[in-house]
Chains A and B, each alone.
Chain A
C-alpha cells in the first residue's frame, strides 16, 4: 500500500532522514520507535506533505506523493494526527470533527454526519461534550478528538504522532485499545511512539529509527526482548516490561 524509497529530508542544513526505505501493507499497524531526534516525526511530516522531499519517493498505492501539498495528500487518503494534538481550541468538539471531513463535507454532508456519530461511538467519552470548546477538554479527551478528527477524513492510511504523550497510563491504555479496534476495521496505521511497550503491544510490526535511518525492524514479540531496541528507544539496556508499561 505504502512504499517509501530512499527517502531523504533536510531541515535546513540538518539531514533529518537518511535514505529511508520500507513498505507498509494494507490493514497493517506499523510502530515506529526511537529516541527524540531520531526522525520519527519528520517521517510522518514528510508523508503528510509538511516537509519537502530532498531525494527518494513516497508511493501510495503506486501514486507518488512527492511535491504534493498537504491538502492534496489528505484527499488521497493520508491523515496525520500530529503530536500535541493541534486541535482547534476555540471551536466546539463537533466543529472540530466536521472540519476533519473538509474535503468531502460539501458533497457528502449526510455521510459526514453519520461519521460523526461513529466517532462518538468509538470515543464515548466525548459524548455530552459535543458543544464544548475543544480547548476546555482534558488532555486525554483532546487526544481522542484529534484522532477522531483524523478519522473523519476517512483515511486509507492514518499517521499517529506520539498519541500517548502527556497522558495518564489509564488514558493511554484506552487510546491504544481504540487503535487496536480501529485496526480491525481495516485502517492502515503508522504509529510513532516513545512509549515502546504500549506501541509494541498493539502493532503488527515495528521499526526502530536512529539518526534519521532505520536500524532495526521486525515483529513486536522479537523486539520486546531485544537489548538493541532498548538502547535505541530508551537510551539504556533494559528489557521492556509490557504489563507494567501499559
Chain B
C-alpha cells in the first residue's frame, strides 16, 4: 500500500473514531448546557448500551430489535438517573454534581462488571460483505454505518434544535435559564429530556461500534474521557464545536498511532486537551457570549 492509500485508510479510521467521539461530546455538551451538569458517566451509557444489545441479541432477538430495545432502556436509565440522583442535588455546586457523576460512572461500571464479567462481547456487522475499496483504501462496511449514524444523529439534533418548537425551548433553557423559567418552561422536564436523550445517543454509539471494537464493561471510561476532550476542543457551549472537536481528536489519534507509534493514541488526547486549554480555552468555535 502506497503512502497516499495508507493516509486515506487512516483518514477513514480517524473519521470513524471521530464520529463516535463527536456523538459522546455532543451528548456531553447538550446535557451540560441544559442542566449545568458535566456528566462524566456519559461513557458508561455507551458501554451499557453495547453490552445490553449484545445480551438481547444473544437471547434471540433480531439485531434491529436489540438496537431499539437497548437504546430505549438506556434512555430510560438516563431519565431514572436524572430523577433519582441529579434532580434532588440540582441546587448543589458544580463540583458536587461532577463528583456525583464520577460516582455514578464507577457504580455503573461495577454493575456492568457484575452482570457481564470481564470477557468482551460482540455483535454481528450490520451488513454482510467484505471491505470496500474506496480511492485505494479498504473500508469496512460497518465504518460506513458508523459514519451514517453519526451524520443522521447530528442532522436530527440540528433539525430538533433549529426547526422544532420544543428544540427552541431547550435552546432557550441553555441560553438563559432564568428567562426560560419566567416564560413557563419547566427546567426539570428539559433536564429529564436531556439525560434520556444523552443515554439514547450513547447507547446507539456503543451498539454501532461493537461489531468493530467489541464491547467490554470498562470501555466507557476512556470513551467518556475522549468525549470530554472533544467537547473541550470545540467549546463546552457549542454543539457544532463538539462535533468538530470529536473529528479532530479521532483523526489526530489515528494518524499519530498509524504514523508514529500506537502507544501514543491515548497520550494524543491529553496533549490535544492541554493545547486546546492553553491556546483557546473557550473552544474552537466559541463566539463571545453565544451559546448553542
Which positions in A face B, CB cutoff 8 Å? 48-50, 69-71, 74-75, 79-80, 82, 86-91, 95, 98-100, 102-103, 105-106, 135, 149, 152-153
Contacts and interface: CB of A to CB of B under 8 A. Distances in A.
Interface stretch (B42-50, B76-84, B177-185, B198-206): B177-185
B169 interface: yes
Q: Size range of the interface on B?
A: 10 to 19
A90 B183 contact: no
B69 interface: no
Given A91-B168, A91-B172, A99-B172, A86 B179 contact: yes
Interface of B: 165, 168-169, 171-172, 175-176, 178-179, 181-186, 289-292
B179 A102 contact: no
Nearest to A87: B179
B178 A50 contact: yes
Contacts of A106: 165
B182 A86 contact: yes
Residue among B165, B168, B184 having the largest count of chain A Cβ atoms under 10 Å: B184
A98 B176 contact: no
Q: What are the 6 closest A-B residue pairs judged by CB atoms, nearest first?
A: A74-B184, A86-B179, A70-B181, A103-B184, A71-B186, A102-B184
Contact of B292 (A50, A69, A90, A152): A90
Residue among B171, B176, B183, B186 having the largest count of chain A Cβ atoms under 10 Å: B183
18 contacts: A70-B181, A74-B182, A82-B178, A82-B179, A82-B182, A86-B182, A88-B179, A89-B289, A90-B175, A90-B290, A91-B175, A99-B185, A100-B183, A102-B183, A102-B185, A105-B165, A106-B165, A149-B183
A99 B168 CA distance: 8
Contacts of B169: 99, 102
Contacts of B182: 48, 50, 70, 74, 79-80, 82, 86
Contacts of B181: 49-50, 69-71
B34 to A, nearest CB: 14
A95 B175 CA distance: 13
Contacts of A135: 289-290
Contacts of B175: 88-91
A150 to B, nearest CB: 8
Contacts of B291: 90
Nearest to A75: B184
A69 B289 contact: no
Contacts of A103: 184
A153 B176 contact: no
A82 B184 CA distance: 14
